[in-house]
Chains A and B, each alone.
Chain A
Amino acid sequence: MERKWGILLALPAMIGLVMFTVVPVIASFFFSITDWRIGNEMTVIGFDNYKTILTNDPTFTKSLYVTTYYSLFSVPICLAIAFMIAFLLNQKVRGLSVFRTIFYLPTIVPSIASTMLWLWLFNPDFGLLNSILESLGLPESRWIYDEATAIPSIVLMSTWSVGNTVIIFLAGLQAVPAHLYEAVEVDGGSAWRKFYHITIPSMTPTIFFNLVMMIIGSFQAFNQAYVMTQGGPNNSTLFYVYYLFRTAFTETKIGYASALAWILFVIVMTLTFIIFQTSKKWVHYEGSNK
């Protein structure tokens, strides 16, 4: 009976998994070895798309560079800021729930609304950011409208919505066993020793989880380019997924875009694999290393 019901109840999801994940993944790979454009005949051309992308597509190189730059820049900063906020919130502060609400609030703002808002904050002439810079006597910036500052600006914007990460860190910090801190206290250890020898090692699984999620997320940045910059200026914010989207749905080069998608897939998988491998060296799971 369990078997019958088990299969029956999981059936919709199994159909969904096949229809909306497995078949599309296979189809995507098949498209990637064709020269298909919507409206044209489809010819299988082997790995030509991949060859072109990897050897002769400056836009691909640029978008990969932009995305990597964004990822390398935003992930550590967001991770560090979120950790710091969570750490401070964990110091038995009064009004914890008020602070927690405030730090989480930006995260629930719909991304389309927050890109709209930041577009206005970045406005070089009347935006909030430049008026703050000016009131501090600092030189103004062109923010997302300047090639050099466009990505850093988008990183700044991403630090605004680290709420999820903060909450996950906070929960992790609250779960650090108190007796570990006591042990350091008994030995006369300083606050710094507690932080370095207890907090950080106990938090490595949580840091690891957030790190993986953030890297995967950062490689899929799209809205900022679509709504704010259209990839500009001079392709400085041409995020990978935005390039892929444009290739597939503006230029209707389905085959070529599918190959782009598979390259992204391989990159994300490789990164995840590498992080998982190195994690054995720095992630301490409770029970395994005590």
Chain B
Amino acid sequence: MSDVSVIVRSKRQVTALGFIKKPARLVTYFILIIGSLLMIMPLVWLLRSSLMDNAQIFIFPPQWIPDPFQWSNYPEALTTVPFGTYFLNTMTIEVFVLAGVLVTSVITAYSLARLRWAGRNVVFAGVLGSMMLPSAVTIIPLFILWRELNALDSLLPLIVPAWFGGGAYIGQGAFQIFLLRQFFMSIPKELDEAAYMDGGTPLTVLWRVVIPLSTPALIVVGIFTFIDVWNNFLEPVLYLNSEENFTLALGLATFKGLYNAQWGYLMAASMAMVAPIILLFFIGQRYFIEGITLTGIKG
């Protein structure tokens, strides 16, 4: 196909895609705006509740704007239980898991995508299989394993698997390896040849060619891993018992048990856990969209 016809086609594509006609267009906007309001409303409710004292929260009909703004909910909610400790634990896990995931998923994906060796298809099949395996099957033996290793109630069960391609939680590492493998396969092989000609090893190729060309994919993996660690709940529930080892997610769930009807505090604590993720989302928005698309469509 010549260049001209490509341009013509892409121009046509623009007209062809939006095939809904004008009156329907208004309906489209109407539904989208109503839908957006419904989606955003719970978050606004979360924010407004987090800034109200009990007297304001239990008014009927409910008010949307706190009066006065109960800013003290935040310091009070976040100091009544040691959220600082929870935060430090979560960040410790974040650092070690992020490092582990980035190192092992990159080298594994590189090996599976670009190096030829007998058995790599078996390993790849295993990776895919572990993605489909319900975590319910492995969670009991894993608990027993960490119990035998005397590692219960420590951060180890939450960190170590990440260094062995296990990702942030059971089954999640496979997803990262899969994503990176797809990405690495799209890098032209000729670039490798050049590096080998200069006497490089596969490691040089990985370091000089593959990694520099994969920054967006690595950022995607990094962001998703960060969020998965932040949100992970099942495994902290399973492995951690004493408060000094709690993560934020676990701490928040425990906090709920302690302050059952203190909705202002509960919402302030929840908001404090949501806010960093939303911030991260706005900073890395395009990587989110790319990441989901990359794994979803090619999957």
Cβ–Cβ < 8 Å partners of A260 in chain B: 136
The answer to whether the Cβ of A284 comes within 8 Å of any Cβ in the partner chain is no
B108 to chain A: closest residue by CB = A13
- With a cutoff of 8 Å between Cβ atoms, the chain B residues found around residue A254 in the complex are 140, 144
Task: Give residues 1-39 of A contacting B (CB, 8 Å).
Answer: 1-3, 5-10, 12-17, 19-25, 27-28, 31
Q: Contact at A17–B16, with CB atoms within 8 Å?
A: no
Q: Is the CB of A108 within 8 A of B164?
A: no
CB nearest neighbor in A for B49: A120
- Which of chain B's residues have a CB closer than 8 A to the CB of A28? 137-138, 140-141
Of the listed stretches B55-63, B67-75, B91-99, B214-222, name the one at the interface; the rest are far from the partner chain.
B55-63
Asked if B195 CB lies within 8 Å of chain A CBs, one says no
Smallest CB gap from A267: residue in B: B134
Q: What count of chain A residues pass the 8 Å CB interface test? A: 100
Nearest chain B CB to A195 CB, angstrom units: 8
Known A-B contacts A16-B161, A28-B138, A101-B285; A9 and B277 likewise in contact (beta carbons under 8 Å): no
Please encode chain B, from 26 to 37, with 1 for each CB lying within 8 Å of some chain A CB and 0 for all others.
Answer: 001101100110
- Are A110 and B136 in contact, with the CB atoms below 8 A? no
Closest to B62 in A: A131
User: A92 vs B9: C-alpha distance in the bound complex, in angstroms?
Assistant: 17
- Inter-chain CA distance A6–B120, complex, in Å, is 8
Give the residue name and chain of the B residue nearest to A226 (CB). B237
Residues facing B in A83-108 (CB within 8 A) are: 84-85, 88-93, 99-106, 108
A191-233 vs B, CB cutoff 8 Å, 1 = contact: the mask equals 1001000000000001001100000100110110011000000
A264 within 8 A of B: yes
Chain A residues within 8 Å of B237, by CB = 226
A258 within 8 A of B: yes
CB of A26 to closest CB in B, whole Å: 8
**Do A3 and B116 form a contact, CB below 8 Å, given A91-B25, A110-B230?**
yes
With beta carbons under 8 angstroms apart, the residue of A12, A14, A131, A168 that contacts B60 is A131
Whole-angstrom distance between the alpha carbons of A207 and B72 in the complex?
A: 47
Supply 18 A–B pairs (Cβ within 8 Å), ascending by A. A1-B201, A5-B201, A8-B111, A9-B115, A17-B127, A20-B170, A25-B133, A91-B18, A91-B20, A92-B18, A93-B32, A103-B39, A108-B288, A118-B42, A128-B42, A167-B293, A179-B9, A227-B256
Task: List residues of chain A with CB under 8 Å of any chain B CB.
Answer: 1-3, 5-10, 12-17, 19-25, 27-28, 31, 84-85, 88-93, 99-106, 108-113, 116-121, 123, 125-126, 128, 131, 134-135, 160, 164, 167-168, 171-172, 174-175, 178-179, 181-182, 185, 191, 194, 206, 209-210, 216, 219-220, 222-223, 226-227, 240-241, 244, 248-249, 254, 257-258, 260-262, 264-265, 268, 272
Question: Which B residues lie at the A interface, using CB under 8 A?
Answer: 9, 12-14, 16-21, 24-25, 28-29, 31-32, 35-36, 39-43, 45-46, 49, 57-58, 60-62, 104-105, 107-108, 110-112, 115-120, 123, 126-127, 129-130, 132-145, 161, 163-166, 170, 173, 177, 201-203, 206, 227, 230-231, 233-234, 237-238, 249, 252-253, 256, 263, 266-267, 270-271, 273-274, 277-278, 281, 285, 288-289, 292-293, 296-297, 299
